[in-house]
A and B are shown apart, each in its own frame.
Chain A
Amino acid sequence: MVDRETTAGRALPDIGLKWQVRTTPVRAVARFAQRNPLGAMGGLIVLALLVMALLAPVIAPYEPRQIIREAHNRVPVYVPPGSTYLLGTDHVGRDILSRIIHGARISLYVGVGAVLIGVTGWFVVGMASAYAGGAVDLVVQRIVDVMMAVPGLIIVLAIMAVLGSSLNNVIIAIVIGMLAPVVRTVRSQVLSMKEMEYIVAARAIGASAARIIGRHIMPNCLAIYLILATYYVGFAIILEASLSFLGVGVPPDVPSWGGMLTAAAQGHITRAPWAGIFPGLAIFLAVLGFNLLGDALRDVLEPRLRGARATARLLSR
């Protein structure tokens, strides 16, 4: 019971303040959704994508790689959307819906894989470059300058030409494509953090560089890491789709959303618009989902970053 008596012996009026003692996760999510409807929408899209990828074999009506044989060995080439094939079939007679559902696996595998390796790795490089300063910083910055000068897609294309097309090579190429924007964003954040009083104080009492980075800088970078990671999943998804669309990404039988659009671009679009519309819609929604979630995370966790969106997005296509 809160003591409402003051020293003067008068009771304070009840001003109706309700103290939230404990925030359950459910309530926290609900509050987030209320304040950030767009972010919640992004979260929902991402969640739907995850479910789709995890349960792909269960929910997909057909085998994604298999050419369907109907009665009398007929192959259903470019059947329009209907009750048998919800989103129609493609140019060799495969079910588009099943390929889109399985395509979520490819997109997420590339997106999450590239982010785990790329954002994490370049994060450390950016941090080290900012903290070390001097010659290290100068060299890293020049490399970043050069890589900023070549569009991300062209870097990734050139690396794919060297490595040859395969799913894991796509990830390697995208990771290299992420170098410049991630290092740049992290470096500028750590540089401003380095001048903060608490870092200066830590240095003054003789903390080692490792301790300052591990105990003071890294925890403060966590929010930035989460925000960047979310944005860059979208970045990686769109790059993978572009590569596969151009025919240098994953092998053609792998159900990649970008690869599904290749035939549509070769003049088939007028014959079968559904084959060009639905896979593109999937890419668009997935990227939109991650971008909206990233925007919301940024607003909640690190409102100071608002202007930095420009940098984070610089190479995002």
Chain B
Amino acid sequence: MGTYAMHRALLFIPTLLLATIMVFALFWLVPGDPALTILGGGEGDSGTVSPAQLQQLRQRLGLDRPVYVQYASWLGSVLHGDLGTSLWYKTPVWAQLKDRFLVTMELAVMAILLAFCAAVPLGITSAVKQDTGLDYCSRVFCVIGVALPTFWLGILTVYALAAFFQWLPPLGYATLWEDPLLNLQQLIFPALTLAFADLAFVARVTRSAMLEVMREDYLRTARAKGVREMTVIGRHALKNALLPVVTVSGYQFGRLLGGVIIVESIFVVPGMGTLLIDSIVHRDFIVIQAVVLLIAAVVLTLNLVIDLLYGVLDPRIRYQ
């Protein structure tokens, strides 16, 4: 276990470093002079920006230094928890991001819990009753669920809630600690929308993993020695079938964070998604960098944890 954990953890560091390089490089893909772009001029209307202003901004951003020096100093400040100053709001990025990050994480965790609670039983039933009407229905449901665009589902949910229940997303937002009930009220529908999108996918993975395990010899042995069917499915099959489900859950969480961006803007949730969209509209690259880096770091860390957990759960992995 020790070597496996070491190996996996050592791989994590260069990957995270590469993530910072790629996020930093994003800024350098901006065609033309980044300072000019930030000040709002395209290549065409540079006349509105004075050269002095440009020079000042270049100096403030450190654009007059070589790239690797810029990267090193940027990485240094990121490691010290300083994600820079927003170009648009002129406030430190972290101050803005802190609360929104928690909101987004809460929403994503809620959604993934809801999705797994529904999807795993659905996948199991579908596998156990393979090729029956029930299995067919749940497979059709999965195909539909995967093709359904999250934002359309969100719009339809808002419409249904407003038209039939006169419910509108509450305008104020309270954190979980201030007012748990209001917080739940605000987040439950976006979380359900998000969960639905992932339910189909997780149910599908569970079903195919279950089907694979159910062909194994040890299940036949268990049945032959007279173990109750419930125990065979619940104890013998499920334990092994859940391993691939756990593995995908890390990337699943990342995928879900993509959906969060859209759902937040539909349900007016003050999370990272609404901030990201705002920053894209204002071309606030410092904030965009910070958001992308934060999400990458969260998902990479989560994957590390899951891989380590996987090693604990499945001894075969450790000896590969």
Contact B257 A151 (CB under 8 A): yes
Nearest A residue to B139 via CB reads A38
Q: How far, in Å, is A155 (CB) from chain B's closest CB?
A: 8
With A154-B261, A246-B262, A269-B155 already in contact, the answer to whether A292 and B143 are too (CB < 8 A) is: yes
In the complex, A146→B259 CA distance in Å?
A: 19
Q: Could you give, for residues 134-162 of chain B, a 1 whenever the CB lies within 8 Å of some chain A CB and a 0 otherwise?
A: 00000000011011111110111011001
CA A163 to CA B262, docked complex, whole Å: 20
- A160 and B281 alpha carbons, distance in the complex (Å): 10
Whether the Cβ atoms of B248 and A310 lie closer than 8 Å is yes
B149 touches A162 (CB 8 A): no
Interface check A131, CB cutoff 8 A? no
Cα-based distance from A155 to B300 in the complex (angstroms) = 15
Q: Interface size of B by Cβ–Cβ distance < 8 Å?
A: 59
Q: Are A153 and B262 in contact (CB under 8 A)?
A: yes
**Contact indicator B147/A234 (Cβ below 8 Å):** yes
Q: Which residues of A contact B208 (CB under 8 A)?
A: 306-307, 310
* 236-250 of chain A: CB within 8 A of chain B: 238, 241-242, 245-248
Chain A contacts for B146, CB-based, 8 A? 291, 313, 316
B183 on the A face (CB < 8 A): no
* Chain-A contact segment, one of B22-30, B70-78, B84-92, B111-119: B22-30
Q: Are A150 and B299 CB-contacts (below 8 A) given A288-B143, A288-B144, A313-B201?
A: yes
B residues less than 8 Å from A248 (CB atoms): 277, 280-281
Interface residues as binary, B249-267 with A (CB distance below 8 Å gives 1, 0 otherwise): 0010011111101100110
B255 engages A151 (CB within 8 Å): yes
- The 5 A-B pairs at the shortest CB distance, nearest first, are namely A151-B258, A280-B152, A153-B258, A288-B147, A149-B299
16 A-B interface contacts by CB (under 8 A) = A145-B15, A146-B15, A148-B251, A149-B295, A151-B255, A153-B261, A154-B261, A154-B292, A159-B26, A238-B149, A247-B281, A248-B280, A248-B281, A270-B163, A273-B159, A284-B152
Chain A positions within 8 Å of B, measured between CB atoms, are: 38, 142-143, 145-155, 157-163, 234, 238, 241-242, 245-248, 258, 261, 264-265, 269-270, 273, 276-277, 280, 283-284, 287-288, 291-292, 295, 306-307, 309-310, 313-317
